[in-house]
């Protein structure tokens, strides 16, 4: 019975994690049925499992240190080895999760190695020094002390420093919600770490591990929240499709142009000039914002949208109002439904996607880098799909001619960097066009 007294905190933490785990699986299955695809975040799944293992070993050692006369020393040492190593892996996976969720997993192998090296080094050092572990007698309970303990604390400290460096380096490109989550996680871990260092027999590390994991689940990985986001995205896509049909264009313009925009953004990220700006969140927001670029056409009369010939000057002036109408619709109608950064990008894409690099576009006539990057990307994607698709007043142009139109606009109509990024995916873009045309036949 006394064993349960020594590890009562860890038992409560394991029960909480078990409940959250059951909810995670149940709601995840519901989300899979809703979206018709399997949710997969292996980093968080691994992180959650490691948390449970960590808390188990924490509870196990909380008992064994108080039964030194009844248990062989190797049982205590193996229990502590499991606890220290699992805590070090937990901290490493926590850092890796936040990197993945904010700026994305780095492509360069040496950067990945640099991120993993402190965790791997501390695991090896802890294992080497575990035989020298000492068990000290406290006022309320025994506790462990030694080089392995200091190495474990050092691992937490190193990854906290790495996280702070990442925040400072990328703070302009991390969403407010994720930035709050990062700061909350750091603050909580640092407070618990200081308590554990000043009062070593407190054994409160398991509380930090449990609460941080549950917090990430509730704020970042909760399938119920993802389900709401899915409904929101479906609503936006449905509204955009309604506008597309009003334009007498049922050939999937919004899906193709959105795909082109994402391809451009991913290629731009290879350019050092844009590497810091185009984060994982940026690409996700662009993918969700792109379908709303022509949403303002809902305010344009059908006789203009569906006219099977060249527009008159007055009709074209009326058509040029749709970016302003679209921006206002997003602010007035979708503003309270969308995340702040997502809403801002959707507004910029809708308002500025007809601006030109040389300042001869509309509705504001801004030029160069005054045009938001997302709108400059959308401009290339939109024009290419417009000329490569069949419209009510003409047939689709040959694919080679469509690419040439984009190339001819480099540095005048379009940002040169974006045209270059677009052409890097010309083969994949050609496949998308051919697949779309074959499906329409």
How many CB atoms neighbour CB 343 within 10 A? 18
Q: Which DSSP string corresponds to 15-66? A: HHHHHHHHHHHHHHHHHHHHHTS----HHHHHHHHHHHHHHHHHHHHHHHTT
Residues 75-93, buried b or exposed e (16+ Cβ, 10 A)? ebbbbbbbbbbbbbbbbbb
Contact predicate 255/286, CB 8 Å: no
pLDDT in tens, the chain (441 residues): 566 777 888 999 999 999 998 988 887 777 666 666 655 678 888 999 999 999 999 999 998 888 888 889 999 999 999 999 999 999 999 998 888 887 777 777 888 888 888 889 999 999 999 999 998 888 888 888 899 999 999 998 888 888 888 888 777 767 777 777 788 888 888 888 888 888 888 878 899 899 999 988 888 888 877 777 777 777 777 777 777 776 655 457 888 899 999 999 999 988 888 877 888 788 888 998 898 898 898 888 888 887 777 888 898 899 999 999 999 988 887 655 556 678 889 999 999 999 999 999 999 999 999 999 999 999 999 999 988 887 666 677 888 999 999 999 999 999 999 999 999 998 999 888 887 766 655
Determine the 3-state secondary structure of 145 from DSSP. Answer: strand
Find, among 174, 190, 24, 210, the residue nearest to 99 by Cα.
174
Residues with Cβ < 8 Å from 315, sequence gap 6 or more?
Answer: 304, 307
| Predicted pLDDT at 440 | 58
- Interatomic CA distance for residues 315 and 322, integer angstroms: 12
| Predicted pLDDT at 398 | 86
Contact predicate 164/157, CB 8 Å: no
In the chain the first and final C-alpha atoms are separated, in Å, by 75
User: What are the phi and psi torsion angles at 135 (to 5°)?
Assistant: -110, 120
Say if strands 134-137 and 142-145 run parallel, antiparallel, or are unpaired. antiparallel
| Predicted pLDDT at 407 | 95
Q: pTM higher than 0.75 for the full model?
A: no
Contact predicate 324/353, CB 8 Å: no
């Amino acid at each position: 019975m006394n064993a349960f007294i020594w590890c009562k905190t860890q038992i409560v933490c394991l029960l909480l994690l078990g409940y959250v785990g059951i909810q995670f699986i149940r709601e995840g299955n519901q989300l899979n049925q809703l979206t018709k695809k399997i949710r997969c975040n292996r980093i968080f799944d691994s992180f959650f499992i490691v948390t449970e293992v960590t808390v188990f070993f924490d509870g196990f050692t909380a008992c064994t240190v108080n039964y030194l006369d009844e248990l062989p020393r190797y049982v205590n040492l193996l229990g502590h080895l499991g606890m220290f190593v699992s805590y070090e892996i937990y901290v490493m996976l926590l850092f890796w999760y936040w990197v993945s969720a904010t700026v994305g997993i780095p492509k360069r192998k040496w950067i990945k190695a640099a991120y993993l090296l402190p965790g791997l080094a501390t695991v090896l050092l802890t294992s080497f020094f575990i035989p020298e572990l000492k068990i000290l007698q406290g006022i309320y309970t025994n506790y462990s002390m030694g080089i392995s303990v200091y190495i474990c604390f050092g691992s937490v400290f190193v990854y906290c420093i790495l996280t702070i460096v990442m925040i400072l380096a990328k703070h302009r490109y991390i969403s407010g919600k994720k930035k709050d989550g990062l700061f909350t996680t750091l603050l909580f871990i640092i407070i618990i770490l200081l308590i554990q260092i000043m009062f070593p027999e407190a054994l409160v590390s398991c509380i930090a591990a449990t609460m941080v994991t549950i917090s990430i689940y509730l704020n970042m990985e909760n399938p119920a929240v993802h389900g709401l986001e899915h409904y929101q995205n479906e609503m936006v896509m449905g509204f955009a499709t309604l506008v597309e049909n009003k334009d007498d264009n049922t050939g999937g313009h919004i899906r193709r142009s959105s795909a082109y925009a994402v391809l451009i953004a991913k290629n731009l990220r290879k350019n050092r000039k844009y590497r810091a700006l185009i984060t994982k969140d940026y690409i996700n927001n662009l993918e969700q914002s792109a379908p709303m670029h022509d949403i303002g056409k809902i305010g344009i009369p059908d006789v203009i949208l569906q006219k099977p010939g060249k527009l008159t000057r007055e009709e074209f002036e009326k058509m040029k109002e749709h970016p302003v109408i679209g921006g206002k619709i997003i602010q007035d109608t979708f503003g309270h439904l969308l995340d702040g950064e997502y809403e801002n990008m959707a507004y910029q894409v809708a308002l500025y996607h007809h601006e030109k690099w040389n300042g001869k576009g509309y509705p504001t006539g801004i030029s160069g880098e005054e045009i938001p990057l997302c709108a400059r990307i959308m401009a290339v994607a939109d024009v290419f799909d417009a000329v490569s698709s069949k419209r009510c007043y003409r047939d689709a142009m040959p694919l080679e001619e469509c690419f040439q139109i984009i190339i001819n606009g480099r540095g005048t109509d379009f940002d040169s960097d974006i045209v270059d990024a677009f052409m890097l995916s010309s083969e994949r873009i050609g496949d998308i066009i051919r697949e779309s045309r074959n499906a329409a036949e």
